[in-house]
């Protein structure tokens, strides 16, 4: 009887060890999840805040808004993967893109375009997931940059695209060179309906510049927001 109990205990221990549930096991790679990304201690360090997509009749652009949860995310590269689904529940395409957190609480709109679909393919929904690329590097958090509200959204051009305009004053202590601007656009119900991007060459200290971004959206946006980030 004692031998049977011992055999059963050893068998149970081997199962727990294989599943990574014993106290001595650690997975050096982060967990891939639909809503959150975790580090090796299984604590979430980034999460998906919102997502949506836009289509202007020529191409589809998915926008996934991800946020850093704590300082472990600073300096890390987040990977966003998106499945593009049709109304019949079939995956039309899968795209991947990355972003890099520079301060705690930062929200990054990661944008994934899909312009190579067949003529009869229509995106009905998207499915985003996030993870981190390796262990990453430890960096000091940088000064947060503002999120800008659009000052103007112009009429569509011949290609069917709109342009969103923003005003930015550099209040940091250094000139910003070749920084990143990711735009998220919303309808009247605050639903993400697309976005765009821009890459200004220079914003001198204390000066105001105008930023314009071509946007891919479904319908006419009620507003757009520009998220600024430092170059990698």
Residue 115's CATH number: 2.60.40.3230
pLDDT recorded at residue 58: 81
Are residues 133 and 98 in contact, defined by beta-carbon separation less than 8 angstroms? yes
Instruction: Note whether 188 and 213 are same-domain residues.
Output: yes
71 and 109, same domain (yes or no): yes
- pLDDT for 138 equals 58
DSSP letters of 50-93?
Answer: EEEEEE-SS-EEEEEEEEE-SGGGTTPEEEEEEEEE-TTS-EEE
Bridge partners of residue 60, in order along the sequence: 55, 114
- Do residues 164 and 184 lie in contact, with contact meaning Cβ atoms separated by under 8 Å? no
pLDDT of residue 108: 96
Same domain? 102 vs 187: no
Contact 174, 231 (CB under 8 A): no
Whether the CA torsion 70, 73, 78, 81 is positive or negative: it is negative
> φ and ψ at 172, to 5 degrees?
-80, 180
pLDDT of amino acid 205: 97
Per-residue b/e over 70-99, b at no fewer than 16 CB within 10 Å? ebbbbbbbbbbbbebbeeeeeebbebeeeb
* Same domain for 166 and 100: no
pLDDT tens digits for range 92-102: 999 999 999 99
Residue 58 falls inside a structural domain: yes
Domain containing residue 190: CATH number: 2.60.40.10
**Cα 53 from Cα 38, distance rounded (Å):** 25
10-61 residue pLDDT tens? 343 343 333 333 233 333 223 334 567 665 555 778 999 999 999 988 889 9
Percent with pLDDT over 90 in the chain: 62
pLDDT of 67 above 50: yes
How many separate domains does the chain show? 2
10 within a domain of the structure (yes/no): no
Q: Compute the average pLDDT of residues 143-163.
A: 86
The verdict on residue 160 lying in a domain is yes
Write out the residue range of the structural domain in which residue 155 sits.
Answer: 147-229
pLDDT at res. 161: 76
Give the least confident one: 4-8, 187-191, 220-224: 4-8
- For residue 156, being part of any structural domain is answered with yes
Both 120 and 193 in one domain: the answer is no
* 181 in any annotated domain: yes
Q: Which of 99, 60, 214, 232 is nearest to 150 (CA)?
A: 214
pTM of the predicted model as reported, rounded to 2 decimal places: 0.79
In a domain, 191, yes or no: yes
Cβ contacts of residue 93 below 8 Å, gap of 6+? Answer: 83, 84, 114, 116, 117
User: Which of 5-9, 132-136, 226-230 has the lowest average pLDDT?
Assistant: 5-9
pLDDT at 224: 98
For residue 100, what pLDDT is reported? 92
Sheet containing strand 107-114, edge to edge, reads 36-38, 44-55, 60-68, 107-114
The answer to whether residues 103 and 154 belong to one domain is no
């Amino acid at each position: 009887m004692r031998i049977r109990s011992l055999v059963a205990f050893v068998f149970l221990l081997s199962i727990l060890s294989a599943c990574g549930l014993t106290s001595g096991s650690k997975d050096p790679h982060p967990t891939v999840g639909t809503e959150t990304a975790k580090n090796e201690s299984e604590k979430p360090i980034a999460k998906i805040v919102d997502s949506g997509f836009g289509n202007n009749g020529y191409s589809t652009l998915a926008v996934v808004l991800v946020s850093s949860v704590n300082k472990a995310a600073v300096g890390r590269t987040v990977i966003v993967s998106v499945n593009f689904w049709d109304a019949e529940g079939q995956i039309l395409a899968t795209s991947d893109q990355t972003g890099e957190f520079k301060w705690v609480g930062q929200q990054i709109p990661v944008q994934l375009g899909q312009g190579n679909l067949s003529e009869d393919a229509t995106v009905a929904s998207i499915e985003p997931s996030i993870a981190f690329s390796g262990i990453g590097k430890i960096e000091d958090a940088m000064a947060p940059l503002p999120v800008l509200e659009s000052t103007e959204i112009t009429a569509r051009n011949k290609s069917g695209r709109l342009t969103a305009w923003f005003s930015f004053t550099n209040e940091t202590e250094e000139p910003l060179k070749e920084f990143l601007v990711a735009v998220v656009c919303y309808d009247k119900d605050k639903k993400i309906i697309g976005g765009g991007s821009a890459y200004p060459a220079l914003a001198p200290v204390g000066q105001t510049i105008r930023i314009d971004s071509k946007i891919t959206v479904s319908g006419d946006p009620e507003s757009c927001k520009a998220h600024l980030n430092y170059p990698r």
